[in-house]
């Protein structure tokens, strides 16, 4: 079973690449995120591989990150989701979008992907929600999904004594003001009805 390939990139297409490994060409199907992260043809490529075996065919699916590969294997464990549909889903939603959507039962987000109807989306939620909880705690997903600047602002609010859920909510609402630390921090404090030097109206942790 092939689990990893390193070789020269011979051909690169949006959903498929050809990798020369010591004179043997491996045709690998990839999501758009992996395609975009690969260098031009002629360069060296490294791919984590999922080998999909059927009675009449062996197919290779390649990924740049372990999280992409893990998400792919999670998707194909759901009834009615084959490898081609799973690849299409990962081309439309990153793991940082996909996993929270399944966890929260966000059918609107899931059905944005062509080929994913409401029934398939519901099945994915029912069958995969518990599996996601086992392989990736909710707190870990939440932290990873946020840009570093937002996490810095949340951390600053936690240091001031605010509850994490409250901090996340005000930071999310403050995104329209700006993406830099100072803008987000001031917007968050304004929503909380305080200032960086005050502590009234804080809604702090107990």
- CA 77, CA 164: separation in Å to the nearest integer? 33
Q: Judge contact between 28 and 62, C-beta under 8 A.
A: yes
* pLDDT tens, residue by residue, 135-172: 665 555 554 556 778 888 888 888 787 877 788 888 88
Domains and CATH numbers, the chain: 4-63 (2.40.50.140), 66-142 (1.10.150.20), 146-191 (1.10.8)
pTM over 0.75: no
Structure confidence by residue, pLDDT tens digits, 103-114: 999 999 999 999
Q: What are the residue ranges of helices labelled H in 55-117?
A: 66-75, 83-92, 95-104, 107-110
């Amino acid at each position: 079973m092939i689990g990893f390939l390193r070789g020269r990139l011979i051909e690169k297409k949006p959903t498929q690449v050809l990798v020369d490994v010591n004179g043997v060409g491996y045709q690998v199907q990839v999501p758009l995120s992996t395609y975009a992260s690969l260098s031009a043809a002629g360069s060296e490529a490294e791919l984590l591989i999922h080998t999909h075996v059927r009675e009449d065919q062996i197919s290779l699916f390649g990924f740049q990150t372990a999280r992409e590969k893990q998400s792919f294997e999670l998707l194909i464990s759901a009834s009615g989701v084959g490898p081609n549909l799973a690849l299409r889903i990962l081309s439309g939603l990153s793991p940082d979008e996909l996993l929270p959507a399944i966890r929260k039962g966000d059918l609107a987000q899931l059905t944005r992907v062509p080929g994913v109807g409401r029934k398939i989306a519901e099945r994915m939620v029912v069958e995969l929600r518990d599996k996601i909880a086992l392989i990736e705690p909710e707190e870990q997903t939440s932290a990873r999904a946020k840009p570093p600047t937002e996490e810095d602002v949340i951390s600053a609010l936690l240091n001031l004594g605010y509850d994490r859920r409250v901090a996340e909510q005000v930071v999310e609402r403050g995104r329209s003001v700006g993406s830099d630390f100072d803008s987000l921090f001031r917007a968050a404090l304004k929503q909380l009805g305080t200032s960086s030097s005050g502590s009234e109206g804080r809604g702090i942790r107990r």
